[in-house]
Amino acid sequence: MYCKNCGEQANENQAFCMKCGVELGTGNAFCPNCGNAVATEAVVCVKCGISLKTDTAKTHTVNTAGIKPRSIATAIVLSLVTCGIYAIYWFICLTNEMNQASGRVNDTNGGTAFLLNLVTCGIYGIFWAYKLGEKRDVIAKETGSSNVLYLVLTFLGLGIVVYGLAQDTLNKAIDNK
């Protein structure tokens, strides 16, 4: 077994690469079977012929520790009643909780994402919605195109629907724990 991030030979019992510190199985620069350098978009290793595409969405462990379910209807009503103030809070919490549950804790945190969205007049929000869809698929253990759905909904000005769909996924993940 080889680290997919740096190509270093690793023991199957290791959780992280001893050379680069990345979780084993993460990365796409090297073949996990032979350690050969591969193109990022490669589907098969040209040296050993092994398939390089794995479905990480179905093997990821969802971490919902400390995340409490949120009523979607209540969140929408509070967002409307407070003229969007609660929606900002929901956006920030949802971003942080989706990062945690999907295992992408190094992604942009909620506060930074909100500020980037504000500074770019909503352009960052389009990227945020796309990435949120990817995280949703990881949490739901599905291979889908939620990222495209979230992107389209955001373009149509239905960001609150994106929040609701993402919150629904989080609530289900919490209930399944």
What residues does each domain of the chain span? 1-54, 72-175
Give pLDDT tens digits for 18-48. Answer: 888 888 777 888 888 788 888 877 777 788 7
Looking at residue 1, its pLDDT comes to 80
- Who has greater pLDDT, 73 or 5? 73
Instruction: Flag whether pLDDT at 109 surpasses 60.
Output: yes
Residue located via tokens 């199985």: 25
Average pLDDT of the residues in 78-85: 97
Instruction: Flag whether pLDDT at 52 surpasses 80.
Output: no
pTM over 0.85: no
Looking at residue 57, its pLDDT comes to 45
Instruction: Flag whether pLDDT at 118 surpasses 90.
Output: yes
Looking at residue 34, its pLDDT comes to 82
- Who has greater pLDDT, 21 or 77? 77
With a pLDDT cut of 90, the percent of the chain lying above it is 55
